Every structure is written in structure tokens, then in C-alpha cells.
Chain A
């Protein structure tokens, strides 16, 4: 399965992983520092950025999250791989 995936898949996926890592890290930090306005600003900035990256990824490679748009009206794309352990 992984042999058919283009380099672009890995590149875009990694960009998302990087952005979402910032979000996870800031989430835990803000859970114990809830009034750090600079961290909140940074969080919102990356939440926005992550959303943009996911839009781009999903239009090329199919849905990444439950609740995402199914862009192929004739086929339910969510059930298709690759699944995370297959790439």
C-alpha cells in the first residue's frame, strides 16, 4: 500500500504532524497556565494554520478526521486506507 503513495502525501502529513504537535504542547501548557495570553495567541494561530493544512491534505488524499467533508459523492472515502500503520 505504501508503495503507491506520492512523496507529497508524506510531506503534507508531516506538516500537519508538526502543526498539531505545537497544538498538543500548547494545550498541555495552557491546562496548567490558563492565563498566559501569549500562549493563547500562539495556540489560536496554530489552530488556524493546522485547519488550513488539513483542508489542503484532505482535498488531495481524502478525509483525515471524522466529520470531514466526503469530497467524492459516489464513494465513501473515510473507510479507505491508508491507515496510519500502513504508511
Chain B
């Protein structure tokens, strides 16, 4: 089971209402390499991954939900005071007519989330390589969003999230080594 804590993993402050930036951030909300995809990918893979890395997939998958909440908080704060006109100017007119100011799981271009963004091959090394790639893609996306953003408060939180992708990638690389070591040991008679 999961248990909720009424706090963010890291503080999220925004300087000004900025629906354009919110639109970019939805890439990390409902996009292919976003936090929802990450959480669902790892937590689904863990049932069939070797015992030695179940804990890691569980804990990283859980942290991804905390990141999803941070991204949602950013989008919410950046758009909550926006007028329909401001949303339209930011390219969110189509979003507004379907969702008002509600959040929705789609990418920055408005494409809805799909399970085909994630994989579960059942081959532990293939799955972990996918996870490493996912972290690296998410890290790159955070960098591109930071490059597009002129909000210093928001960038602080985005840099935190970018660094977490690096840590996760490194932990997954260690998991690959742990499994390779175990596999090679079994071959010795």
C-alpha cells in the first residue's frame, strides 16, 4: 500500500503567473519521459524483476510520484490566476475549452498520456536499460525546460528534479552491475 504525506519532497515556488511555462512543464507530467510514465514503469516492472532490485524499483517508483506532485504544483501555481485570454496567448486555448484550468495527463503538445510510453519486457537487463534511458531522457527534458524558463524560483525546483534523474540513472546502472555479477557467478561450476 501507499501512505500520503502532506508535504512536497522539495519546495515549489513560482515568481509569476506564466501559462507558457506551465505548458512546457506538462511534458514532465503526461509526456513519454515524464514523471507519471516513470512511476508507472518502475512500479509495474518490480513484480518480475530479480529480488535484489525490487527494493530499488519500489523506492524510485515511489519517489517519482512525489516528483509528479511537484510538477502538478508547478503547473497549478503557474496557471491558477491566468485569464482565458492569457491561456489562449500561451497556446492553451485548446486545453481550456476541454479542461478549464484543470490539470490533465498530456504532453506539452497536448497529446494524451498512453501506456505505450512504457515497457515491461520481463528481461531484467532490458528493463533496467530502458529505465536508465528514461532517466537520461527526463534529465535532458528538465534541462531544455530550464533553458526555456526565466523564473528563478521555479528553476531552483527544476534543478532539484534534474539532479534526481541523475541519481536514479546511477542507481539503475548499479542495479545492472549487481544482476550481471549474479548472472556470471551462476556460470561457475
* A-to-B contact residues, CB < 8 Å: 13-14, 16-17, 20-21, 24-25, 27-29, 31-32, 63-67, 83-85
Contact = CB atoms under 8 A, between A and B. Distances in A.
B10 A21 contact: yes
A32 B59 contact: no
A17 B174 contact: no
B167 A66 contact: no
User: Does more than half of chain A's interface fall in helix, strand or loop, or is it mixed?
Assistant: helix
Nearest to A81: B6
A17 B167 contact: no
Interface of B: 3-12, 53, 55-56, 59-60, 63, 69, 72-73, 76-77, 167-168, 171, 174-175, 178
A64 B6 CA distance: 5
A13 B76 contact: no
B171 A17 contact: no
Given A31-B59, A31-B171, A32-B178, A66 B3 contact: yes
B175 A66 contact: no
A65 B56 CA distance: 23
B63 A84 contact: no
